[in-house]
Amino acid sequence: MLQRKKASNTIMAIQISDCHFSKEKELFDSLVNTINQLNPDVVFLTGDQIVSVESIKIMEHYLSKINVPCPKFVINGNWEYTLSAKKSTNSPHESKNFTEYYRALKDSGFTMLLNQGETLNFNGKKLVVYGLDSMLGGKPDFKNFTPVENAANVVLGHCPMLFEQLEQVQNIPIVMLSGHTHGGQVLLFGKALYFPAGTGKYYAGIYKNGTNTLYVSTGVGNSSLEIRNIPPCIEIVSFIFDENNNYKETLFQTVDILY
């Protein structure tokens, strides 16, 4: 059984990306069990939850089983925008399928952040969470993001190329969590055959730009191809604070989903 390492100076988050919920029961049962065993302080779901309209019910089934009593946040990826008619003149978020998708997330205990943010307080340790819309299909906007000094500031953005739009703020390091790439999903002789638009030069792991840090998750599920030779995984994201509850650093640990 997985054991969470409790530390009074840490806010422990779990990042889950690119689930593409399908009928792979063993995979998603293991995903839910792993998260529940880790017992995080906060959960981030960083886009591409679905592969089709039929995925919504499957998504709700598994997300509702994450029974950790903590804040849970979600953003849209590019696949969510397949829920609306491409020729629709209305906002895609007003479509029937999007409405059902948002209901399923809310009923599963997840808060959608659509170019919005929230500030959380864990016994004096502050965590600012800002969620961007997808750069593919959506309209990401940083204008409502106000980083807070001495807090852990995290931006959720599905496509890693959004990192290039993240401004440097003096004395305030910012962490961005992304997915989208699947790490290439299929590697041949150690090299990925394909990366989707929105990847840029950020395909997996940690990247730095001044005081800002990007982490790109290789994710859980499959998108168009029903094959994957990169292990499905989630990330433990540990925000570390000093004795005065001032933010110090962020540590990342990959946890493979075994099934």
10-16 and 42-46 beta bridge pairing: parallel
Q: What is the pLDDT of residue 227?
A: 55
Q: What is the mean pLDDT of each run of 10 residues along the chain (259 residues)?
A: 73 97 93 98 97 93 98 96 63 82 97 98 98 94 96 98 92 96 59 68 93 96 66 96 98 94
**Residue 184: predicted pLDDT:** 56
Kindly tell me the burial class for residue 109, based on how many C-beta atoms sit within 10 Å of its own C-beta (0-12, 13-18, 19 or more).
middle
- Measured CA to CA, the distance from residue 219 to residue 179 in angstroms comes to 6
List the beta bridge partners of residue 72. Answer: 43
Are 69 and 109 spatial neighbours (Cβ–Cβ below 8 Å)? no
CA 32, 35, 37: angle at the middle one, nearest 5?
Answer: 105
Predicted local distance difference test score (pLDDT) of residue 192: 56
pTM above 0.75, yes or no: yes
**pLDDT for position 189:** 44
Domains of the chain: 10-256 (3.60.21.10)
